[in-house]
Amino acid sequence: MAVINQDAHGGAAEQSRPIGVFDSGIGGLTVVSALRTLLPNESIFYLGDTARVPYGGKSAATVQRYSLEIAAMLLSENAKTVVVACNTASAVALSQLTATLPVTVTGVIQPGAQAAIAVTRNGHVGVIGTRATINSGAYERALRSLDPKVRVSARACPLLVPLIEEGWLQTAITDEIIMQYVSPLVNDGIDTLVLGCTHYPLLREAMARLLGDRITLVDSAQNCANAVRELLLRENLCAAGPDAGRLQVALTDQPDNFLRVAREALQLDVGDVQVRE
């Protein structure tokens, strides 16, 4: 495990260091986009483990090992804090990362759960995500730790990520599949839906159109960015000065078509993408 030299807490050198963000692939760029909007003067180093994507079908022990390896690469880039922009890694590796890394760590699950509890009107929250995230029960635990009386209806949506990576964000077939997955949750009485995968914010517009005002959508990417901003303020780690921060993107394998899809959908200027072994 790489260890970095820490500056004096809250010092200018420490504040200017980048936020390190990682995901199993490219979906975590939704978190980067939210961070860029919310914290435009922060530099960000994003690392997508595209050589080993997806994490969803791997064992918990394997995801923990991969997460520690990728986080060590972020520390070698002098990251001042680490953001786990992956629901699977947040579900099974966050506690190990928090215990191991010499910097603070933020996942996507707790911020999403907090936002859902804050906005639900009838106390019935729906969660959609990959099979690994849903099977982990991490969202149910997070929601019930905040409100033991909350009702949770969760559903795995394995076809959504391939559709998003294909760039089919606003098509009739995508609409139909969204409703196949989400209609049972709506019929069950949810009033709030957590988008429990960092790919899913790319379908937020379609879901809002299909579900209308009756369902409040909770975007895990946006709420993770809010949590990072609060953390930086609390720890006196906010970058000083008005200059726009730098965004660097690195992947562990050559980028595929989804990088283009994400870049265009999120209007992100990712520059030259580095490949890291």
Which tokens is 64 given?
């923990």
CA nearest neighbour of 54 among 109, 126, 130, 117: 130
Q: Is 197 a catalytic residue?
A: yes
Q: Is 224 a catalytic residue?
A: no
DSSP 205-261: HHHHHHHGGGSEEEEHHHHHHHHHHHHHHHTT-PPPSSSPPPEEEEESS---HHHHH
Pairing of strands 274-275, 19-23: unpaired
Alpha-carbon gap, residue 37 to 255, rounded angstroms: 24
Alpha-carbon gap, residue 271 to 274, rounded angstroms: 9
57 DSSP assignment = T
Q: In what order do the strands lie in the sheet with 192-195?
A: 151-156, 124-129, 192-195, 216-219
Residue tagged active-site, from 157, 197, 224, 238 = 197
Any idea which residues carry the catalytic annotation?
Answer: 86, 197
